């Protein structure tokens, strides 16, 4: 069933275990809740549900570039997928406890103004006692193309000051805050100030006190929390203490190159433990 919030239409799907809300703009999941638990995802109280404006929180889809466009700063930050209108292709009840939803975005005259390639982008969503996401890129062009991407998950947490993230020990990272490369994580990651890091070669699951995040199809993970000072400069972000972004990504040196008719799948599994 389609509903509206602000200027945006969204669909709401539920089963015996969980419920989800997905805006057609960006195929943007802005709410996922397992029954009897608090929401899995953080949504800013100042999030704007307006046409052409990304929603702050949930799971934005960054595609076909991550961050600023590499050569044209006038193009949308993090690509155009998150501000494009997607088609709701399918809702399928696999069982009373598990439901599949498929959203699709295809190349169009508007997308070709941003990016000169033909493509099909699908988001397959499985909801049960966890949230499973598969972002599937297909090259429908006659030439190769390169792209970067991220499932930019905002997690709702209790307190960033007491949060520790496990699973990154001895992993190298690029620190975007001070623009330094080849840093090495030692032990768990704590948050005492702004953190914006791209970790390379991540395998297995990342663990918080009450969350588990697993990435398949990419070994790059971005960890972001704006901290006390940066959040003051972000008018659509209401807080920083109860959110943490753990992003399954392909970016920097992990850019993906697809030949015609080939596909690539980025998978993220988000669980409340």
pLDDT digits (tens, 9 = 90+) for 33-70: 999 999 999 999 999 999 999 999 999 999 999 988 88
Does residue 110 contact residue 33 with C-beta atoms inside 8 Å? no
Closest CA to 134 of 116, 156, 149: 149
pLDDT tens digits along 144-202: 999 999 999 999 999 999 999 999 999 999 999 999 999 999 999 999 999 999 999 89
State the Cα–Cα distance between residues 222 and 207, nearest whole angstrom. 14
Helix, strand counts (H, E) of the chain: 2, 22
Work out the angle at residue 78's Cα, subtended by the Cα atoms of residues 75 and 84, and round it to the nearest 5 degrees: 75
Residue 17: how many CB atoms within 10 A of its CB? 18
State the Cα–Cα distance between residues 198 and 62, nearest whole angstrom. 15
Closest CA to 235 of 24, 46, 72: 46
Across 86-103, average pLDDT: 98
Q: Is the dihedral of CA 242, 179, 198, 169 positive or negative?
A: negative
Helix H or strand E encompassing 96: none
219 pLDDT above the threshold of 90: no
128 pLDDT above the threshold of 80: yes
State the Cα–Cα distance between residues 108 and 146, nearest whole angstrom. 18
218 by DSSP, 3-state: which? coil
The range of the structural domain enclosing residue 74 comes to 2-272
How far apart, in Å, are the Cα atoms of 153 and each of 43, 111, 126, 273? 10, 24, 15, 17
pLDDT tens digits along 95-127: 999 999 999 999 999 999 999 999 999 999 999
Does residue 199 contact residue 173 with C-beta atoms inside 8 Å? yes
Across 255-267, average pLDDT: 96
Residue 190's CATH number: 2.70.98.10
Structure-token match 């800013």, residue found: 44
The residues, any chain, with a CB within 8 Å of residue 38's CB and separated by 6 or more, are: 156
Helix H or strand E encompassing 227: helix 227-230
86 by DSSP, 3-state: which? coil
Does residue 33 contact residue 119 with C-beta atoms inside 8 Å? no
Structure-token match 């030439």, residue found: 143
254 pLDDT above the threshold of 80: no
Q: What's the pLDDT at 71? A: 86
Structure-token match 């596909």, residue found: 263
Total of domains in the chain: 1
Classify strands 211-216 and 205-207 as parallel, antiparallel or unpaired. antiparallel
């Amino acid at each position: 069933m389609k509903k509206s919030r602000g200027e945006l239409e969204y669909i709401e799907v539920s089963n015996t275990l969980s419920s989800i809300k997905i805006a057609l703009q960006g195929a943007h999941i802005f709410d996922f809740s397992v029954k009897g638990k608090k929401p899995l995802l953080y949504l800013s109280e100042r999030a704007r549900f307006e046409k052409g404006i990304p929603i702050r929180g949930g799971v934005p889809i960054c595609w076909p570039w991550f961050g600023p466009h590499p050569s044209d700063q006038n193009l949308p930050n993090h690509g155009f997928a998150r501000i494009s209108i997607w088609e709701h292709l399918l809702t399928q009840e696999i069982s009373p406890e598990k439901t599949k939803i498929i959203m699709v975005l295809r190349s169009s005259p508007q997308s070709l103004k941003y990016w000169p390639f033909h493509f099909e982008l699908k988001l397959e969503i499985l909801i049960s006692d966890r949230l499973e996401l598969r972002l599937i890129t297909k090259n429908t062009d006659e030439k190769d193309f390169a792209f970067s991407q991220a499932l930019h998950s905002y997690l709702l947490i209790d307190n960033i000051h007491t949060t520790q993230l496990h699973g990154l020990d001895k992993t190298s990272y690029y620190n975007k805050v001070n623009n330094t490369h080849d840093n090495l994580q030692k032990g768990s990651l704590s948050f005492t100030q702004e953190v914006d890091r791209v970790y390379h070669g991540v395998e297995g699951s990342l663990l918080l006190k009450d969350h588990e995040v697993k990435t398949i199809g990419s070994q790059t993970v971005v960890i972001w929390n704006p901290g006390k000072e940066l959040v003051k400069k972000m008018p659509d972000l209401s807080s920083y203490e109860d959110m943490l972004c753990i992003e399954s990504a392909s970016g920097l040196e992990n850019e993906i190159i697809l030949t015609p008719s080939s596909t690539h799948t980025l998978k993220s599994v988000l669980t409340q433990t």
